Amino acid sequence: MTEKHPLQPFLPSNARLLMLGSFPPKRERWSMEFFYPNWINDMWRIIGLLFYGDKHYFEVEGAKSFDRERIVTFCSDKGIALYDTATEVRRLKDNASDKFLEVVTPTDVPELLRKLPQCSTIVTTGEKATDTLCALLQVERPAVGACVDGLCLGRTIRLFRMPSSSRAYPMSIEKKAEAYRHLFEYLHML
């Protein structure tokens, strides 16, 4: 049985960065209706730490939830688009692990980039997303924290591979934030 992506791409018109994960976890693991919804995923804590010096900045006080509106406003203001590298998957085990995701239909990344004329940088936030995107763009897989250049729609696209924001990835949130810092400094967002 396959699952289709439950969210539409988030594509602010001013986006200079496209962040691509692999695929959302099952809905029962969501704490909000947006990207990186799992309460135990640290993406919004990493972003809060980098931009506001507070890893709890995007959390709803007293609830195990992220503040969707605050995240949407932040991403819109900064020019950050969000989606995933798969629009349809098959879960090989009943969990959220990328290791057990089979990509049935990869995302049409060139179509996303057509809608993002200012975007020249893509970041992948895990191994499955990186492998899927590298196959689509026909580029070598960069090391974690590094980048490679590729061509798409006649423009140079810089692909950064960042550490996974999943807590299963064996790195402290502070070290993950430091890796992401280089990406945001490169884009002059920090």
Contact 58, 66 (CB under 8 A): yes
Q: Which two tokens stand for residue 145?
A: 């924290």
CATH number at residue 34: 3.40.470.10
* Eight-class DSSP state of 70: H
Banded pLDDT at 17 (limits 50, 70, 90): very high
pLDDT tens digits, residue range 139-161? 999 999 999 999 998 999 999 99
pLDDT tens digits, residue range 29-54? 999 999 999 999 999 999 999 999 99
pLDDT at residue 137 tops 90: no
For β-strands 121-124 and 155-161, DSSP reports them as parallel
Beta-carbon count within 10 A of 48 CB: 22
Beta-carbon count within 10 A of 92 CB: 11
Q: What is the pTM of this model?
A: 0.94
Number of domains within the chain: 1
Mean pLDDT of the chain: 94
Helices 173-186 and 43-52: crossing angle, nearest 10°? Answer: 60
Q: How far is CA 166 from CA 45, 106, 152, 189, in A?
A: 11, 21, 28, 23
Of 67-76, 98-107, 181-190, the range with the lowest mean pLDDT is 98-107
pLDDT at position 123 is: 97
- Domain limits for position 29: 3-186
